[in-house]
């Protein structure tokens, strides 16, 4: 309220007095508040988000994604900073016109994408099954040396590839030869079993060879089968990405 200079009445701060009609002058302006960082961020239209998926498949915190390049890593958001398996700059996720591409930014532990259908895999492909990190390799036939001497080895019953457990940087564990048209992986019912890993389903995945090409398929596991990406990979709505020890679901707006 203000006091009218003509009649002295206490009136609202409009241009004219409501009691006598006298001019009050310019009404006072409300103070302007500076926009907070959160308000500024909220004003930007999100084009998508990464939502944390807990081990029981419920959703946790989320990380908003804008148009263009979004940086992911321990130095790029509270949702990532506590995961010691993430590099400071681990990956980037580019969103352009409703399409998404994720890129590994030379991270130490890599970026893994959950499979949704059978895919062809190449020699050297890294696979994540439960907590097991596996490297697929083709086995080439022994070749004679330049002087014609053949390398001696045990008889090969038809092994065409192998899976090797990756324990650490340059450290390998057990190796499993691949024989026949297909080899299944699981906790208790596969040809290759990981009985101590509770994240592996009873029957989890299958590796097959057809016409000289190798394919990997998830066979309805609870926790999924993941492929390590090399350079970049397109993602889609509801794609799941394993970053460090955290699983995220991508939602595109």
Region at 45 (left for phi over 0; alpha for psi -120 to 50; beta for the rest): beta
Asked if residue 227 lies in contact with residue 113, where contact means CB atoms within 8 angstroms, the answer is: yes
Kind plus residue range of the DSSP H or E element containing 209: strand 205-210
Residue 247 has pLDDT above 90, yes or no: yes
d(CA 181, CA 206): 10
Residue 187 has pLDDT above 60, yes or no: yes
* Mean pLDDT for the stretch of residues 128-147: 89
Enumerate residues 6+ apart whose C-beta is below 8 A from 248: 50, 51, 52, 53, 63, 240, 241, 242
Residue 24 has pLDDT above 90, yes or no: no
**pTM, entire model:** 0.78
What pLDDT does 46 receive? 87
When pLDDT is cut at 50, 70 and 90, the band that residue 28 belongs to is very low
Residue 92 has pLDDT above 60, yes or no: yes
**In the block, which residue shows the tokens 């297909």?**
182
d(CA 149, CA 139): 20
When pLDDT is cut at 50, 70 and 90, the band that residue 151 belongs to is confident
Q: Is 226 exposed, middle or buried (0-12, 13-18, 19+ CB in 10 A)?
A: buried
When pLDDT is cut at 50, 70 and 90, the band that residue 9 belongs to is low
SS3 state of residue 42? helix
Which residue would you say has higher pLDDT here, 32 or 215? 215
CA distances for 147 relative to 143, 144, 150, 151, angstroms: 11, 8, 9, 12
* pLDDT tens by residue, 44-77: 588 999 999 998 899 999 999 999 999 999 999 9
Residue 102 has pLDDT above 90, yes or no: yes
SS3 state of residue 86? coil
When pLDDT is cut at 50, 70 and 90, the band that residue 128 belongs to is very high
When pLDDT is cut at 50, 70 and 90, the band that residue 143 belongs to is confident
* Mean pLDDT for the stretch of residues 30-54: 62
Lowest mean pLDDT among 28-42, 125-139, 200-214, 233-247: 28-42
What pLDDT does 166 receive? 97
Look up residue 4 and give its two tokens: 């009218």
Helix count and strand count (H, E) for the chain: 2, 21
What pLDDT does 23 receive? 60
Kind plus residue range of the DSSP H or E element containing 227: strand 225-228
Q: Report the 3 state secondary structure along 127-148.
A: EEECCEEEEEEECCCCCCCCCC
What pLDDT does 152 receive? 79
Which residue would you say has higher pLDDT here, 247 or 42? 247
d(CA 136, CA 27): 76
Residue 162 has pLDDT above 70, yes or no: yes
């Amino acid at each position: 309220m203000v006091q009218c200079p003509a009649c002295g009445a206490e009136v609202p701060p409009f241009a004219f007095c409501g009691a006598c009609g006298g001019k009050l002058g310019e009404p006072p302006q409300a103070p302007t508040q500076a926009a907070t960082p959160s308000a500024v961020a909220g004003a930007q239209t999100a084009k998508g988000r990464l939502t944390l998926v807990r081990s029981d498949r419920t959703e946790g915190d989320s990380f908003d994604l804008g148009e263009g390049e979004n940086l992911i890593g321990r130095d790029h958001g509270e949702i990532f900073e506590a995961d010691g398996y993430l590099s400071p700059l681990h990956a980037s996720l580019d969103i352009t016109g409703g399409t998404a591409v994720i890129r590994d930014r030379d991270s130490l532990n890599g970026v893994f994408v959950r499979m949704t259908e059978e895919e062809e895999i190449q020699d050297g492909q890294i696979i994540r099954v439960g907590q097991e990190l596996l490297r697929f390799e083709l086995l080439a036939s022994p070749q004679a040396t330049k002087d014609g001497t053949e390398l001696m080895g045990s008889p090969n019953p038809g092994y065409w590839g192998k899976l090797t457990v990756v324990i650490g940087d340059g450290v390998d564990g057990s190796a499993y030869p691949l024989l026949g048209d297909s080899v299944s992986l699981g906790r208790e019912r596969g040809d290759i079993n990981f009985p101590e890993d509770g994240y592996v389903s009873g029957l989890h995945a299958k590796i097959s060879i057809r016409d000289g090409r190798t394919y990997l398929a998830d066979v309805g596991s609870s926790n999924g089968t993941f492929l390590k990406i090399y350079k970049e990979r397109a993602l889609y709505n509801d794609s799941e990405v394993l970053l460090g020890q955290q699983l995220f679901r991508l939602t595109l707006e």
